[in-house]
Amino acid sequence: MNLNTIVEVKRPASEGDIPAWREGYAWLAGGTWLFSTPQLATHTLIDLETLRWPSLKASAAGLEIGATCTIAELERFEAPAGWSAAPLLKLCCHALLMSFKIYNAATVGGNICMSLPAGSMISLTTALEATYTLWPREGRPRKVAALDFVTGNHKNVLAQGELLRSIHLPASALQKRFAFRRSSLTHLGRSAALLVGTRAKDETGFLLTVTAATARPMQLKFDRFPSDEALRQAISKTIKDADWFDDVHGSAAYKRHLTYYYAEQIRSELA
């Protein structure tokens, strides 16, 4: 849609060109959400595309994802041999309510900064133990664990004008075995529940990440592989009644049910 409150689009060529932050400014990434609804409080967009941040860089340490990397680019990424969790990238890229346009324009950083429960880039990066690099408008860059970034439905830890610059997926997580379960009420619809379990190759531990069913990502970490009963108890201890996310894509009770159901399937698959 046309945003008739916008009077200027700034296109910085480098970080040095980014203007001091003012009320009414908004970062523009893929624009798939920004242009989907009126932005009455916004008069200036600052386009991140012109900064030309590298999209994807694989190294022995893991995968560095520029915040402006599109979901389509991430979906096409060919991972080095040994990154057994790499198929999760593709699975999560397809776990959005997505038209062709959104798929090609939406960015990984934009999806994370939207901080919706059904943000599948949040699911992916939390499950793979990512660290985000944030650029405050004043001061030095800071690092935040993916698990701590989203604080509620459409809420996160970004201060005013603060940028998400990049996402680091550690090689140790990319080398894990994984199991994935997702449900949505309609084919290609918004996720009602998206769960990922991971387990290191040495077979110690188990990490279960619950997203979409809850307003923010929840994670259960086990040093020893849990029994079915231990897993159920841990879910009920960690996820409180108020954490289940009730919306048109599923009631809280439905999402709670899916979570227990899929968690046990994931546990059995990785046992």
Ligand X SMILES: Cc1cc2nc3c(=O)[nH]c(=O)nc-3n(C[C@H](O)[C@H](O)[C@H](O)COP(=O)(O)OP(=O)(O)OC[C@H]3O[C@@H](n4cnc5c(N)ncnc54)[C@H](O)[C@@H]3O)c2cc1C
Angle at 12 between CA 6 and CA 14, to 5 degrees: 160
Smallest distance from the beta carbon of 18 to ligand X, in angstroms?
11
- Interacting positions 153-172 with ligand X (CB under 6 A): 158, 163-164
If binding is defined by CB under 6 A, does position 110 make contact with ligand X?
yes
Token pair listed for 141: 């860059």
Residue 127: which of 82, 194, 74 has the closest Cα? 194
If binding is defined by CB under 6 A, does position 28 make contact with ligand X?
yes
Comparing CB distances to ligand X, the nearer of 105 and 200 is 105
If binding is defined by CB under 6 A, does position 106 make contact with ligand X?
yes
Q: What is the dihedral sign for C-alpha 51, 57, 60, 62?
A: positive
Comparing CB distances to ligand X, the nearer of 160 and 233 is 160
Contact with ligand X (CB under 6 A) among 89, 118, 147, 213: 118
DSSP-derived secondary structure letter, 69: -
Stretch of residues binding ligand X (CB under 6 A), selected from 50-58, 75-83, 107-115, 262-270:
107-115
If binding is defined by CB under 6 A, does position 190 make contact with ligand X?
yes
Comparing CB distances to ligand X, the nearer of 100 and 229 is 100
Comparing CB distances to ligand X, the nearer of 27 and 245 is 27
DSSP-derived secondary structure letter, 85: T
Smallest distance from the beta carbon of 257 to ligand X, in angstroms?
21
Comparing CB distances to ligand X, the nearer of 29 and 231 is 29
C-alpha–C-alpha distance, residues 50 and 65, integer Å: 17
Q: For residue 257, what are the CA distances in angstroms to 40, 244, 271?
A: 39, 10, 21
If binding is defined by CB under 6 A, does position 193 make contact with ligand X?
no
Comparing CB distances to ligand X, the nearer of 124 and 164 is 164
- Residue tagged 């920004």 (tokens): 34
Contact with ligand X (CB under 6 A) among 29, 218, 220, 235: 29
Q: In what order do the strands lie in the sheet with 206-211?
A: 177-183, 193-199, 206-211, 218-222
CA 128 vs. chain centroid, Å, equals 10
User: Is there a contact between 160 and 21 (Cβ–Cβ < 8 Å)?
Assistant: yes
Q: State the residues that interact with ligand X by CB under 6 A.
A: 26-34, 36, 48, 67, 96-97, 102, 105-107, 109-111, 113-114, 116, 118-119, 158, 163-164, 190
